[in-house]
Amino acid sequence: MSRLLNKVAVVTASTEGIGFAIAKQLCEDGAKVAVSSRKESNVNNALKKLEKFVDGGTCIGVPCHVGKTSDRVSLIDKTVQQFGKIDILVSNAAVNPTFGPLLNTDENSFEKMLDINIKSAFMLVKEVFPHMNNGGAICFVSSIAGFHPLPLIGAYSVTKTALLGLTKALASELAPSIRVNCIAPGIIDTKFSTALTTNELVSSQALSQIPIGRFGQPEDCAPLVSFLCSDEARYITGETVILHLPAMSTSEPQSSMPDAAKDADCIVERVRRTAADGQRQFLVRLGGSAAGSDWVSEAELLNSAPAAVEAFLARRRANRAKAESVAKKRPAPRRQQQQQKRGFERGLQPERVLGSTHRQGGELMLLMKWKDSSELDLVPARQANVKCPELVIDFHAKRFAQMAPTDRI
């Protein structure tokens, strides 16, 4: 295919994973590509791999740490010196140095993510813009975490959300000559996502929600980027395309409840109130030929499947009764308990986190089970994050795995 014939592309973080797959696809589609990475050895290895897919002279490598101004300028200058112009920019570089509760993220790690994931993407556009005299295409690589932040990579999710806004703002300002789009991959099997794909609990739950039955591969992302950067997508700008996971939407979910849905064909999983009109919506899992999950208005669901609503409300009542029963088994009334020392203060060893709630002031509290004790304590999450971070992470991971895909991703 030659959809990108005579086009010149710069792809950051392109020596492995999604970035390498994109660079390879652009080369195969006729573009002249500048690949880059922080380490020169990685750049050289990537060029050797690309030799079998492209003719000599259509691909160059430039070491570049996107967080350094001098490296970014060097990448742009060497590309222009070699090919005379730049038509395409794919900003793929990102880091995620932390894994755990958002408030456990230290300042240096947070600044590093902002610097690499957001600032460098913006600065690359500023530095490439003067060389796109005849127009061009820009593509950012965000993540599904940008739409629905993941509990154990909250800071990373924040930066990926910012890319969605950057895409729309730049698309408006640079139109009509330069188009700006974005892709938001799901869980792609790369070194970057090892923390998710190697976690048996998280990966098994995620795979159970994917009809294709596997995690995405870098090669699943590359053709979409090539299309968005080609003239075939000449009327598309300001868009973010989600890859891989089902039941995803960049807008407020709309109901597609089949008129013929029966009580026996659906199970209500969750409930929420919409911000628009205050009416309740239910997350319904449909069976039969309409398999899948969807948000359905209360009125529509009561009309189509009233028994499913009653079954859901009965489960909620049972869960509340169970919670009240657990609360009654605490060793002391709440008033007395507040006057007593809690488990950490008495030297007890935590065994596991059973649940979470919020105090009236908004403080997150965790229900803690102690080793060699039948006692349960509500302890501040900020205290548990310091005393037993591994138990807090395990609790969030299990809760994340139990969420419906629409809520989780």
Q: Give exposure, 192-208, as e/b (b: 16+ Cβ within 10 Å).
A: bbeebbebeebbebbee
Identical fold between 8-243 and 344-402: no
CA distance 26 to 235: 20
Average pLDDT, the chain: 82
Are 75 and 51 spatial neighbours (Cβ–Cβ below 8 Å)?
no
CA distance 216 to 203: 12
CA distance 91 to 186: 17
Are 370 and 343 spatial neighbours (Cβ–Cβ below 8 Å)?
yes
Please name the fold of domain 344-402: OB fold (Dihydrolipoamide Acetyltransferase, E2P) (2.40.50)
Cα Rg of the chain, angstroms: 25
Q: What's the one-letter identity of residue 404?
A: A
> What pLDDT was estimated at residue 335?
47
CA distances from 74 to 35, 41, 50, 128, 378 (A): 13, 17, 22, 11, 55
- How many residues does the structure list for the chain? 409
Residues with a known catalytic role? 156
pLDDT band of 323, cuts 50, 70, 90: confident
- ω before 176 within 30° of 0 (cis)? yes
Q: Which residue has the higher pLDDT, 303 or 274?
A: 303
pLDDT at 369 over 80: yes
Q: Which residue has the higher pLDDT, 382 or 67?
A: 67
Q: Which of 322, 321, 332 is nearest to 354 (CA)?
A: 322
pLDDT band of 338, cuts 50, 70, 90: very low
In terms of DSSP bridges, do strands 350-358 and 292-297 run parallel, antiparallel, or are they unpaired? unpaired
For 9-20, write each residue's pLDDT tens digit. Answer: 999 999 999 999
pLDDT at 198 over 90: no
- For the ranges 121-125, 171-175, 186-190, 223-227, the lowest mean pLDDT is seen at 186-190
Structure tokens at 13: 């973080």
Residues facing 180 on adjacent strands: 138
CA distance 323 to 296: 28
Stretch (H or E) spanning 272: strand 266-273
Parse the chain into domains and list their residue ranges. 8-243, 274-325, 344-402
* Domain formed by 8-243, architecture: 3-Layer(aba) Sandwich (3.40)
- ω before 331 within 30° of 0 (cis)? no
CA distance 281 to 146: 23
pLDDT at 279 over 70: no
